[in-house]
Amino acid sequence: SAVISQKPSRDICQRGTSLTIQCQVDSQVTMMFWYRQQPGQSLTLIATANQGSEATYESGFVIDKFPISRPNLTFSTLTVSNMSPEDSSIYLCSVVSGYTFGSGTRLTVV
Amino acid sequence: QKEVEQNSGPLSVPEGAIASLNCTYSDRGSQSFFWYRQYSGKSPELIMFIYSNGDKEDGRFTAQLNKASQYVSLLIRDSQPSDSATYLCAVFLFGNEKLTFGTGTRLTIIP
């Protein structure tokens, strides 16, 4: 199974600012997935990131708000843009290889 | 109708007993089924997955799948306090290549 390093583990941000979350995988993977887990809720898929192509966003999520980069087969970033308190959540990346998750980023927007 | 449904609990089970967690799904094309354990403040951890009808055992855990009834369950034998967590059911569609999660069942093992 792939091992994923995710950072930052947590952050407190001012509204209106942006935060970029990074995920590094220890092996090459074609797809990486970004999820959001709001307090007390289950996981909701934000987008699927393929290397060399635009990310595919789920209903309710848009590229301007959650831009994603996938520069190679082991790395991806998710940016949460123009943040509001409603963006306070845990953000997780995942890969199909082993169906494993990164350790998560706990974001609090104040 | 939600795509993946779980009883949110909380489910309380005495230590040493069998904990039974249930999940139903709506898409008959679903092909693989996953159980994750999530401790508070941690990311989900894969317990096991199943894709054929019947039972699949791994240590104290048994996954059961009934595609005709669109039902998958997880049994935890000899429950331990360390099993107290939220258990997430997820389904996978080949071609779709993504997991859809249920809302999770919070399990508490009572010493």
pLDDT value of residue A89: 96
Q: Which two tokens stand for residue A89?
A: 């959540």
Please compute the mean of the pLDDT values over residues A34-39 and round it to a whole number: 94
Q: Is residue B8 pLDDT above 90, yes or no?
A: no
Report which of B105, B104, B92 is spatially closest to residue B19, judged by C-alpha positions. B105
Across A1-110, the runs of DSSP E, i.e. the strands, are: 4-7, 10-13, 19-25, 31-37, 43-50, 56-57, 68-72, 75-80, 89-95, 100-101, 105-109
User: Which residues in chain A are contacts of B45 at CB distance < 8 A?
Assistant: 101
pLDDT value of residue B1: 62
Please compute the mean of the pLDDT values over residues A46-51 and round it to a whole number: 92
Residue B99 forms contact with A (CB below 8 Å):
yes
Please compute the mean of the pLDDT values over residues A91-110 and round it to a whole number: 92
B103: left (phi over 0), alpha (psi -120 to 50) or beta: alpha
pLDDT tens column, B56-78: 999 999 999 999 999 999 999 99
Please compute the mean of the pLDDT values over residues A39-60 and round it to a whole number: 91
pLDDT value of residue A87: 97
Cα separation, A28 vs A73, in Å, equals 5
Yes or no: say if B34 and B49 are a contact pair by the CB < 8 Å rule.
yes
What number of other Cβ atoms are within 10 A of residue B65's Cβ? Answer: 20
Cβ distance B98 to A33 less than 8 Å, yes or no, reads: yes
**DSSP H or E stretch at residue B4:** strand B4-6
The chain-wide mean pLDDT, for chain A, equals: 94
- Minimum mean pLDDT range among A61-65, B26-30, B71-75: B26-30
Side chain identity at A77, as an amino acid letter? T
Report which of A54, A64, A63, A61 is spatially closest to residue A89, judged by C-alpha positions. A61
Residue A59 forms contact with B (CB below 8 Å):
no
Best probe of the A interface among B36, B98, B100, B103, by most A CBs < 10 A, is B98
Find where tokens 């354990």 sit. Answer: B37
Cβ distance A99 to B99 less than 8 Å, yes or no, reads: yes
Q: Is residue B96 pLDDT above 90, yes or no?
A: no
